Amino acid sequence: MQRAKEKPMWTESDNKLSKTFIFKDFSEAFAFMTRVALLAEQMNHHPNWSNVYNQVTIHLSTHDAGNVVTALDRQLASAIDRLV
């Protein structure tokens, strides 16, 4: 499993949890995104994210709750952290 350089913690701002992960290269970043996608599908809770080369930025909020941070976002964030 690859190791990502990352911000030390998720930040909460503008009604979303956000974190950026930086990997060695695009392949590692994409592999991470694949694992996150499988996890998100399992939890039926999907992130808003972006990827540029080796960097993956994830934003979490709960659309059904009015686009605010909920316990479900915190659970997904914790599960994502366990992937790296």
Tokens of 51: 């990827």
Is residue 22, in this structure, part of any structural domain at all? no
Provide the domain count of the chain. Answer: 1
| pLDDT for residue 1 is more than 70 | no
Give the domain CATH number at 41: 3.30.1360.20
- Predicted TM-score of the model (pTM): 0.89
Q: Cα torsion for 81, 2, 13, 65, to the nearest 10°?
A: -50
The tens digit of pLDDT for each residue in 14-51 reads 999 999 999 999 999 999 999 999 999 999 999 999 99
Q: For residue 23, give Cα distances in angstroms to 30, 31, 62.
A: 9, 10, 27
| pLDDT for residue 6 is more than 60 | no
Q: Quick one: which H or E segment has residue 62?
A: none
What is the pLDDT at residue 4?
63
| pLDDT for residue 8 is more than 60 | yes
Task: Spell out where 8-81 has E strands.
Answer: 11-13, 16-22, 48-52, 55-60
Q: Print the domain residue range for 82.
A: 1-7+31-84
Is residue 42, in this structure, part of any structural domain at all? yes
